[in-house]
């Protein structure tokens, strides 16, 4: 009996699809940690090559040393920040209790705001005067209802520590065998896409580096500058507030919610001059640093428009979580490279023949 070629191909294709789906089911827990390891190895690849040359080509020892250095660079600042934030958080909680005990008052100029806003604020202020403990009771209720969320966060910390451990193990092997991994990936992509894949990979690599550098620089710059403003304004926990601002700076449009809340609290506490000064400082300096650094770094390193990168960061964050900060812009950068190549092929059809 003769075999049917199309039936054989269908069976083989079905088996391959089934194996791929089963493989994804097995590996899906480790995909994100491995992607983080690949990103860190890619960014630190130049120091790794330098260290390998210094040690006479000993890739295993170079990979181990780089993995330990990257791990220390992640864990040591995080541990220091956690210890510092614990102290600052206690000071911030004491400041909140002190302000609530005296009863916050809104500044007079807010009562003159148009469109009924001033009247609403004046009515709210009178309610605070009549019942100063209402706000404190509401906040205590909010804190008590947040215990479940805090427990969830603690559980997430444990899971993230496990993922960090997996990422560091993966990082060692990505360093040591990265050339082989990259060669196999390029060969596979060349088979399906052709020689043009090198341009796509170059665009993806440049975007990853640019996004990472811009994230770190913006977070550091905005955190330091905002912390300076908090310290001058007399905020009771300036380091804690600066750390929160720096973390929020990794997410577009999140920083104004942090310093805006602090400014509002200063107004409520009656520190009108400090609140106004901090508001101007954050509007004119802190916010503009992001608008200066991010387009400069990303626009200089890639040919992708900053608006497209911003959409990639926001969309990737919503679709893939924290790793989407890098995956989203890379996807849009590759699509932009394909678009530019298509435009060139339309202008010069003979060049692609």
pLDDT in tens, 21-39: 888 888 888 888 888 888 8
Domain annotation covers residue 260 = yes
Domain annotation covers residue 4 = no
- Whether residues 176 and 200 share a domain: the answer is no
Residue 229 clears pLDDT 80, i.e. is over it: yes
> Mean pLDDT, the chain, as a whole number?
75
Domain annotation covers residue 74 = yes
Domain annotation covers residue 135 = yes
> pLDDT tens for residues 203-226?
777 777 777 777 778 888 888 899
- Whether residues 284 and 162 share a domain: the answer is no
Residue 41: CB atoms within 10 Å = 23
In percent, the amount of the chain with pLDDT more than 90 equals 3
- Whether residues 280 and 190 share a domain: the answer is no
Which tops the pLDDT comparison, 72 or 305?
72
| pLDDT for position 109 | 58
- Whether residues 221 and 320 share a domain: the answer is yes
Residue 107 clears pLDDT 70, i.e. is over it: no
Domain, as residue range, for 322? 196-353
Candidates 205, 178, 208; CA nearest to 63 is 178
Domain annotation covers residue 258 = yes
- Residues 266, 278: contact at Cβ < 8 Å? yes
**Residues found in the chain:** 353
CA separation, residue 237 to residues 95, 185, 227 (Å): 9, 49, 9
Distance CA 327, CA 313 (A): 8
How many domains does one find in the chain?
Answer: 2
Residue 136 clears pLDDT 60, i.e. is over it: no
* Burial class (CB within 10 angstroms; exposed 0-12, middle 13-18, buried 19+) of 255: buried
Residue 347: CB atoms within 10 Å = 8
Residue 99 clears pLDDT 50, i.e. is over it: yes
| Confidence bin at 65 (pLDDT 50/70/90) | very high
* Residue at which a domain ends, from 177, 194, 211: 194
Tokens, residue 140: 């205590």
* Burial class (CB within 10 angstroms; exposed 0-12, middle 13-18, buried 19+) of 189: middle
Give the residue-averaged pLDDT of 151-177. 72
Residue appearing with tokens 């097995």:
26
- Whether residues 103 and 204 share a domain: the answer is no
Distance CA 66, CA 40 (A): 10
Domain annotation covers residue 15 = no
- Whether residues 122 and 202 share a domain: the answer is no
Distance CA 10, CA 23 (A): 20
- Whether residues 174 and 44 share a domain: the answer is yes
- Residues 311, 189: contact at Cβ < 8 Å? no
The half-sphere exposure of 32 on its side-chain side, counting CA atoms within 13 A, is 14
Which tops the pLDDT comparison, 111 or 351?
111
- Whether residues 239 and 183 share a domain: the answer is no
Task: Look up residue 182 and give its DSSP letter.
Answer: H
Sign of the alpha-carbon torsion through 301, 304, 306, 310:
negative
Domain annotation covers residue 22 = no
Residue 297 clears pLDDT 80, i.e. is over it: no
Domain annotation covers residue 11 = no
| Confidence bin at 98 (pLDDT 50/70/90) | low
- Whether residues 98 and 202 share a domain: the answer is no
| pLDDT for position 154 | 43
Looking at 5-14, 134-143, 148-157, 187-196, which range is the least confident one? Answer: 148-157
- Whether residues 173 and 135 share a domain: the answer is yes
Structure pTM? Answer: 0.61
Residues 6+ apart with CB under 8 A from 347: none
- Whether residues 348 and 314 share a domain: the answer is yes
Which of 7-16, 52-61, 193-202, 281-290 ranks highest by mean pLDDT?
Answer: 52-61
Rounded (to 5) percent helix, strand, coil in the chain: 90, 0, 10
- Whether residues 171 and 204 share a domain: the answer is no
């Amino acid at each position: 009996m003769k075999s049917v070629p199309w039936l054989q191909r269908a069976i083989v294709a079905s088996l391959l699809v089934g194996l791929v789906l089963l493989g994804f089911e097995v590996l899906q827990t480790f995909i994100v940690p491995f992607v983080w390891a690949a990103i860190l190895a890619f960014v630190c690849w130049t120091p790794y090559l330098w260290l390998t040359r210094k040690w006479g080509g000993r890739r295993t020892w170079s990979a181990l040393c780089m993995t330990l250095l990257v791990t220390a660079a992640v864990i040591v600042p995080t541990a220091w920040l956690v210890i510092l934030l614990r102290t600052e958080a206690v000071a911030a909680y004491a400041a909140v209790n002190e302000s609530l005990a005296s009863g916050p008052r809104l500044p007079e100029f807010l009562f003159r705001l148009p469109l009924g806003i001033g009247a609403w604020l004046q009515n709210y202020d009178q309610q605070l005067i009549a019942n100063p403990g209402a706000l404190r009771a509401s906040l205590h209720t909010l804190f008590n209802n947040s215990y479940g969320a805090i427990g969830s966060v603690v559980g997430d910390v444990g899971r993230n520590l496990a993922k960090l451990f997996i990422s560091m193990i993966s990082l060692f092997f990505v360093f040591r065998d990265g050339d082989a991994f990259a060669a196999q990936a390029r060969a596979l992509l060349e088979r399906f896409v052709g020689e043009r894949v090198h341009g796509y990979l170059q665009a993806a690599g440049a975007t990853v580096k640019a996004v990472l550098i811009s994230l770190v620089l913006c977070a550091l710059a905005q955190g330091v500058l905002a912390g300076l403003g908090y310290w001058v304004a007399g905020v009771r926990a300036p380091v804690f507030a600066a750390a929160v601002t720096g973390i929020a700076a990794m997410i577009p449009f999140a920083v104004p919610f942090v310093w805006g809340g602090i400014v509002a609290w200063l107004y409520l506490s009656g520190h009108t001059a400090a609140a106004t000064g901090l508001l101007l400082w954050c509007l004119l300096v802190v916010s503009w640093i992001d608008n200066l650094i991010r387009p400069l770094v990303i626009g200089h390193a890639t040919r992708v428009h900053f608006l497209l990168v911003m959409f990639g960061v926001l969309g990737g964050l919503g679709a893939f979580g924290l790793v989407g900060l890098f995956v989203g812009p890379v996807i849009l950068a590759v699509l932009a490279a394909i678009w530019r190549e298509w435009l060139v092929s339309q202008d010069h059809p003979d060049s692609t023949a």
